[in-house]
A and B are shown apart, each in its own frame.
Chain A
Amino acid sequence: MSDCGDSDVLWIPYKERPEWSDVTPVPEDDGPNPVVVIAHSEKFEDVYDYFRAVLQSNEKSERVLHLTKDALELNPANYTVWQYRRDLLKHLNTDLRTELDYVEAVIKNSPKNYQVWHHRRVLVEWLQDPTMELELTGDALLQDPKNYHAWQHRQWAIKTFGLYEKELDFVDNLITDDVRNNSAWNQRYFVVNNNLGWSDLICQQEVCYTLEKINFVKNNESAWNYLRGLLIHDKRGLSGNAVITSFCEELYKNKCRSPFLLAFIIDVCEDAIKKKDTNCFHNADRAVELCQALATRYDKIRSKYWNYLCERYKKYQSEQLSNDNKTNDLIIDE
């Protein structure tokens, strides 16, 4: 593991800075395994020894604000340094706009760090100004379209300040770039659910959008899950929308055997059974057949799951059969 201070040739250790001569550095308390060897990164040690010292003396000054910057450059994950920095910002009445620029730079370098994003959020809350947030998170998502922190921050800003207007376009671009981006599909749900609402019209629009994307890449877990999710809001349910069921049967007829397609048809069968609305395509026999195909051929790694489902449908079949027999008995008795 390399020392992150090596490249910095102009670095002057705090212990050699005259303006810090009034502070006595505090080395890390030994904690468990008190073994004396401490020879790790000199810069790291120097900076944190001084940070511990100011923490102890509770010094709140401009030079400490600088010191926290050095400490965070060495380890942006140290939450205590961030907390102390926020105390300093308040205490020194620092211009929060420059702090926004600063934290933006840190985010660019460590976009996967909890503390940095949290610091950002606190600043935006203090300023009550979210104008930069969509661009900032947009940039972070350009680098890594699945960055959980960036998505959380974006959702927070959108929800808190009502920034929904262009979000569906943003999501659509990401899905166009990578149709399997689960985070983008989740964001699509977030926007429709919190802003547009699931009216009949929106439901139908979303169905069309999703089917088009599935047609493009069939074996896409995210799109199939989104389809299932949006149908929670469609009163026709999984089995009642002819556009969807005929789309699925068409894929099946054209030899598509994506496990997600087969799983979806099983769910349609399930829905039809529940509603006592089975037909020649969607019934328990079909569900059994598809479960068996998945378990033995198309999704063997999850065979235990498919066998479990299969048993459920078989049980249902045999119950149906005995019910039918009872009905027959009655007829004969008459």
Chain B
Amino acid sequence: MSFTTKDVVLKEDRPKTLLLQKHSDYLASYGLNKDDYEYCMTEYLRMSGIYWSLTAMELMGQSSRMPKEDIIEFITQCQDSESGGISASIGHDPHILYTLSAVQVLAMYDRLDAVDIEGIVRYIVSLQQEDGSFYGDKWGEIDTRFSFCAVMCLSLLQRLDAIDINKTVEFVLSCMNFDGGFGSKPGSESHAGLIYCCVGTLSICKRMDALHADELAWWLCERQLPSGGLNGRPEKLPDLCYSWWVMSSLSMLNRIHWVDKKSLEEFILACQDNETGGFSDRPGDITDPFHTLFGLAGLSLLGNTSIKPVNPTYCMPQETIDRLKLKPQILQI
């Protein structure tokens, strides 16, 4: 009983090579199927959907297959002139998650001029609380995800000076747990996705020195299961998106070589669907743009040269980050 692990078994007939063309076709047609049930179901997160698809396409060098001008027009229509924030879809309420997605998309297109930047800055500043944390929207949910959204968004706009960085960092550090990991709030369980958000915040704020790097990196490496896949918390099943949260965190910690790259790559490739294209959370499940981006980005971090280099902090093409002259911190060993 003591050595059983929750994990999956990779089948012999699984995809073993990268099906780039299939993924590009999958994403190019995804937005077109407005008759899909998924399409109307996903209206509430459309802005993030655009970010996932466009970034994946950029990493494959296929972004010309996305309707650039329509997307930019859509984003401008999603900005709320009153608060300055951006919503997931036209007529929805602004939220920091979708504000970030929109800014990331515009940054990749080099079209940040299309929105009211001062409005966005004002919106994000308005969400910071006394203790340094951030609300996600006017309703006051607090989460370390929102701290990351705030600093990522402002840094892309070259306006990091608009918020109290010390307090931002202080709040994130108050969410550090006894195992070296981070959760959503002080005391919340360590979770690989939230670790990515917290490490990412420190990377942008250049405060990586505050981490217990070896301990945290070991916890992250412990997420790797015999199948090669990574889970997000102890005793959970592996999930492709966690290969991104864990690996990007390890990259920022400069310790990505601690995971077993070969078996992880096999797991990621096994999450492809060789008929529909796209990646899913686990081998054999239905694919979606979210996991497709993180599959490709993960392979990029593992050094796959048929995909463009991805920046581990921003989850955007490195060329975009270079063009914006951003230098998120990577810990020096």
Contacts and interface: CB of A to CB of B under 8 A. Distances in A.
Given A79-B95, A182-B233, A1 B37 contact: yes
A219 B3 contact: yes
Given A52-B91, A83-B139, A222-B234, A228 B70 contact: no
A248 B312 CA distance: 39
Contacts of A32: 31, 50, 66-67, 70-71, 74
Contacts of A159: 187
A212 to B, nearest CB: 15
Nearest to B3: A219
Interface in A293-334: 301-305, 308
B35 A39 contact: yes
Contacts of B179: 225, 228-229
Contact of B139 (A26, A75, A122, A181): A122
9 contacts: A29-B77, A33-B32, A40-B34, A41-B37, A77-B44, A79-B44, A152-B184, A189-B177, A219-B2
B93 A229 contact: no
B179 to A, nearest CB: 5
B187 A193 contact: yes
A225 B178 contact: yes
B178 A232 contact: yes
Contact of B189 (A3, A48, A183, A219): A183
Contacts, number: 169
Interface in B151-167: none
Given A122-B139, A186-B190, A37 B67 contact: no
A304 B220 CA distance: 13
Given A37-B34, A189-B178, A304-B258, A114 B236 contact: no
A151 B189 contact: yes
Contact residues of A: prevailing secondary structure: helix
Given A31-B70, A151-B188, A229-B178, A304 B32 contact: no
A44 interface: yes
Interface of A: 1-3, 26, 28-29, 31-41, 44-45, 48, 52, 55-56, 75, 77-80, 83, 86, 114, 118, 121-122, 146, 148, 151-152, 155-156, 159, 180-183, 186, 189-190, 193-194, 217-222, 225-226, 228-230, 232, 258, 263, 301-305, 308
Nearest to B145: A114
Nearest to B217: A305
Q: Shortest 5 CB-CB distances between A and B: which pairs?
A: A229-B178, A186-B189, A32-B70, A182-B234, A78-B44
B85 to A, nearest CB: 12
B249 to A, nearest CB: 14
B234 A148 contact: no
B43 interface: yes
A186 B177 contact: yes
Contact residues of B: prevailing secondary structure: loop
B91 A55 contact: yes
B308 interface: no
B257 interface: yes
Contacts of A189: 177-178
A227 B301 CA distance: 34
Interface in B64-96: 66-67, 70-71, 74, 77, 87-93, 95
B118 interface: no
B189 to A, nearest CB: 4
A110 B219 CA distance: 30
Nearest to B71: A32
Contacts of B257: 304
B3 A221 contact: no
A302 B221 contact: yes
A2 B226 CA distance: 35
A301 B224 contact: yes
B38 interface: yes
Contacts of A193: 187
B241 to A, nearest CB: 15
A2 B71 CA distance: 29
A40 B260 contact: no
B137 interface: yes
